[in-house]
Chains A and B, each alone.
Chain A
């Protein structure tokens, strides 16, 4: 069945104008269809879509706490299995609820092999509580806890945690990075994940107009630039076989990283020093030098 013309995610939620997370959620629900149960970690998505007594969700939905979306989803999956029902169990978590606070629950879920699709919508900081740095915040980003000033002109001093590689190292059946701006690639990966038994992990970039400090209308454009500059590469890894990972999209010609930095206020300070931009460009080039041969058109 094709449910692309149905909406399982209702309007009237409190997500910011220009937030990318609802785009991700509405499409994953369309591709999953009505036989779906969602577990949600604490975060913008949970808070803003279920302000009591109202909800945007038209599928059964559960929230327990910040750290245990994966554990709650594991329990739901075990229960449906015990009852002999075959449903799509999907967990949604932000980067705080996934790479930091919810990490051990996620690791356990993947190790136990629950038949769950875990979706990380990665807006690269704790946006819901006011833009604090997370393990997923990239090097050089301004946040309210990686402030930029004379003592620290860079912002966050540590690189982003390679969460997809970490989950792949659990030998998860399917791990992929995705970008809603590269729509067909995103669709293919969600459908592939839904059709793979076992624990699946999707790492989806999700622009945050508030925390990335950009015009709300630029959301999709900036996410597209993240991949076209090579900063957010799109790949998939099956059964933990990192050696044979597949890069699924490679821009014909990479755009310089400045194009991604320029429209975002969180990176504005980096543009003042060509050394910082150069460092970021070198990091991107190094990634592609190391993994670029995994692209087979």
Chain B
């Protein structure tokens, strides 16, 4: 890359993914899949966004769920490369399925 582009144009969309903001984290959200009802509210409110929605059949089936019928729904997964540990997901979770624990490195 040249030292500075003309007009400071950034030509690669979304290249902020190179910044691994997960290093900011002090507390870490951990999803308890035995409790998670897959309502997607955490995914909806993650500001990073660092909560992924996984829709492949294998993940949906293989991830534990409190009820068998819930295994038809997509699964949420936290991308710790980017999660800054704000805790909105843990706070908004209607079934308290996200533990918010001290980060250990």
Question: What residues of chain A have their CB less than 8 Å away from a CB belonging to chain B?
Answer: 5, 7, 9-23, 26, 49-50, 52-59, 180, 183, 209, 215-221
- Determine whether the beta carbon of B88 is less than 8 Å from that of A53: no
- Determine whether the beta carbon of B87 is less than 8 Å from that of A18: yes
CB of B20 within 8 A of chain A?
yes
- Determine whether the beta carbon of A17 is less than 8 Å from that of B24: yes
- Determine whether the beta carbon of A219 is less than 8 Å from that of B88: yes
- Determine whether the beta carbon of A11 is less than 8 Å from that of B88: no
- Determine whether the beta carbon of B10 is less than 8 Å from that of A7: no
Determine the residue in chain A with the shortest Cβ distance to B91.
A217
CB of B16 within 8 A of chain A?
yes
- What is the interface of chain B mostly: helix, strand, loop, or mixed? loop
- Determine whether the beta carbon of B10 is less than 8 Å from that of A55: yes
- Determine whether the beta carbon of B19 is less than 8 Å from that of A12: yes
- Determine whether the beta carbon of B5 is less than 8 Å from that of A53: yes
Q: Which of B10, B12, B21 contacts A11 (CB 8 A)?
A: B21
CB of B66 within 8 A of chain A?
no
A217-B49 CB under 8 A given contacts A17-B24, A58-B13 = no
Determine the residue in chain B with the shortest Cβ distance to A59.
B13
A23-B47 CB under 8 A given contacts A12-B20, A57-B14, A59-B13 = yes
Q: Which of chain B's residues 76-105 have a Cβ closer than 8 Å to chain A?
A: 79, 81-82, 84-88, 90-92, 100
Q: Which of B15, B92, B100 contacts A221 (CB 8 A)?
A: B92
- Determine whether the beta carbon of B79 is less than 8 Å from that of A217: no
- Determine whether the beta carbon of A23 is less than 8 Å from that of B1: no
18 A–B contacts, CB within 8 A, in A order: A5-B55, A11-B17, A11-B48, A11-B50, A16-B84, A18-B47, A22-B48, A23-B46, A50-B10, A53-B5, A53-B10, A55-B15, A58-B14, A216-B87, A217-B90, A219-B88, A220-B45, A221-B92
A201 to B24, CA, bound (A): 34
A218 to B90, CA, bound (A): 10
With a CB–CB cut-off of 8 A, which chain A residues contact B61?
A: none
- Determine whether the beta carbon of A56 is less than 8 Å from that of B100: no
Determine the residue in chain B with the shortest Cβ distance to A209.
B86
- Determine whether the beta carbon of A20 is less than 8 Å from that of B5: no
